[in-house]
Structure 1
Amino acid sequence: MGVLFDKDGTLFDFHATWGAWTGGLLLRLAGGDHARADILARAVGYCYQTRSFASDSPIIAGTPGEIAECLLPYLPGTTPFALITRMNASAATAPQVEAAPLIPMLGRLRAQGMRLGVVTNDAESPARAHLQKAGVADLFDFIAGFDSGFGAKPQPGQLIAFADRMGLDPADVLMVGDSRHDMLAARAAGMRRIGVLTGLATYDDLSSLAEVVLDHVGLLPAWMNDQTKTETAA
């Protein structure tokens, strides 16, 4: 079997990780001008007062390219490539707050023979940097970002690439994510779907698409064990 994880909002708590970072990035892009930074914030659905995001903010599940597309009209003279490069470099240094202790959870899954992967709409380079800093990059067999050549969620390309690389039937892979993008990609790939509530989506947002919705990813091994016991008993 295999287990695929989204990164932001799944392995790492979205609010704790990206709330303050986004405000700092936008202020730097605005050259320290708070009024201009507020204009940029509105363009990407970010609120400085609450350090929170609108439900349709591209920062939640969009690619860096989609975020840049929203910001570029307010940054004259900046090219898409330059802006994306700057955002990726900044994102790579953002302190990540684990949604649950990752090393024991992932180690437990590997000890059970699971193949593990990460599929994110972040760029691959900062994603690897985040996983390295958390000390878990080497626990994954596959890491893909939007720029890794397989597309971005909610399209299923990243997920199918993982199954192909690992020699797995997609039906034998669990996709764990915090957004409807994750669930839709998994459904299109023919994978089982596990939602978590450490992103911005609510239970109601995910429950119609997911097999189960967990409070956080640390509960996954116990849930999987319960499923195995139920299947064995049947």
Structure 2
Amino acid sequence: MNLQSIQAIAFDLDGTLVDSVPDLAASANAMRVELGLPELPRDIVQSYVGDGIAVLVHRSLTADHHGTADDDLLERGFPIFMRHYAHNIANATRPYPETETGLELLKTLGLPLAVVTNKSEMLAVKLLKELNLMDYFSIVVGGDTLPERKPAPEPLRHAAEVMGVPPENMLMVGDSHNDFLAAKAAGCPSVGVLFGYGDMTELSRNEATKPDWLINKLPEIYEQLRGTEQQVSFE
């Protein structure tokens, strides 16, 4: 990875910038209880996160990672989830340790920053505002901003275009297979966070989902980019 070429950075949201599972799980279980279903363990709901709210609702209703709820159940469940989550989106969701420090440091380098998430744009913006993170970002691309979402490359290409940089000069920071598949398809270098929801050991075994670089905290990106004269190849 040629660090000198990095001109912008895009971040996934859930599992990368913030730990949102407590509130997502609470809303999923509020939905299930209202429908007369038993609650799900938080770690099960966590395994359902990453492909957008609609998919999360399907999985939570069926208690199956590959499940699809029937139309009647979805029609009853989805509004319950959305109502509860919209009103409780930041009850227990918090930025990961040193996230704000990392964003502050990266802004000192003059790099435009983006959020590219499969969460709906409305909910992503609402969450960022409630956590006082919105001002760090030039653009938020949600799962419903464009016809395609991650792992398709279009959201990353769109973010790069808006920020005025080639995709190959934009770093994608994420925690899931969707992030790295999208980055590779868009031609973006990628960074995997070791503190998120994804299993980086497992993701790194597959060339298609292997990030270029792994970090334990966001300030590590600043520490590497600060040395503008160096060119580093990460295994």
The aligned length equals 214
The CA deviation at 1:139 is 1.4
Task: Indicate yes or no: 2:71 matched with 1:65.
Answer: no
Q: Structure 1: how far apart are the matches of 2:104 and 2:90?
A: 25
* Counterpart position of 1:221: 222
More helix by share: 1
* Counterpart position of 1:36: 37
* Counterpart position of 2:44: 53
Decide whether the 8 Å contact of 1:26 with 1:37 is kept in 2: no
Decide whether the 8 Å contact of 2:121 with 2:141 is kept in 1: yes
Q: Structure 2: how far apart are the matches of 1:117 and 1:126?
A: 15
Structure 1 unaligned segments of length 5 or more: list them.
42-47
The secondary structure found in structure 2 opposite 1:159 is helix
The CA deviation at 1:74 is 9.7
The secondary structure found in structure 1 opposite 2:214 is strand
Mapping 1:17-166, distance limit 5 Å: 17-18=20-21, 20-31=22-33, 36-38=37-39, 41=40, 48=41, 51-53=42-44, 57-58=47-48, 60-70=49-59, 71=61, 72-73=69-70, 76=73, 78-79=75-76, 82-83=79-80, 85-86=82-83, 88-90=85-87, 92-166=89-163
Q: Structure 2: how far apart are the matches of 1:80 and 1:164?
A: 37
Q: Structure 2: how far apart are the matches of 1:213 and 1:170?
A: 20
* Counterpart position of 1:179: 176
AA partner of residue 231 (structure 1): Q
Runs of 4 or more above 6 Å deviation: none
The secondary structure found in structure 1 opposite 2:152 is coil
Decide whether the 8 Å contact of 2:24 with 2:85 is kept in 1: no
Superposed CA deviations along residues 71-91 of structure 1, whole A, max 9, x for unmatched, are 244973735763563365256
* Counterpart position of 2:191: 194
2:18 to 5, 12, 15: 12
Decide whether the 8 Å contact of 2:119 with 2:143 is kept in 1: yes
The CA deviation at 1:201 is 1.7
The CA deviation at 1:112 is 1.0
Relative to structure 1, the CA distance from residue 77 to residue 181 in structure 2 (aligned partners, 3 Å threshold; closer, same or farther) is: closer
TM-score (norm 1): 0.79
TM-score (norm 2): 0.79
Relative to structure 1, the CA distance from residue 81 to residue 31 in structure 2 (aligned partners, 3 Å threshold; closer, same or farther) is: closer
Relative to structure 1, the CA distance from residue 25 to residue 202 in structure 2 (aligned partners, 3 Å threshold; closer, same or farther) is: same
* Segment drifting more, 131-140 vs 90-99: 90-99
Decide whether the 8 Å contact of 1:88 with 1:123 is kept in 2: no
AA partner of residue 6 (structure 1): D
The secondary structure found in structure 1 opposite 2:190 is strand
Decide whether the 8 Å contact of 1:4 with 1:117 is kept in 2: yes
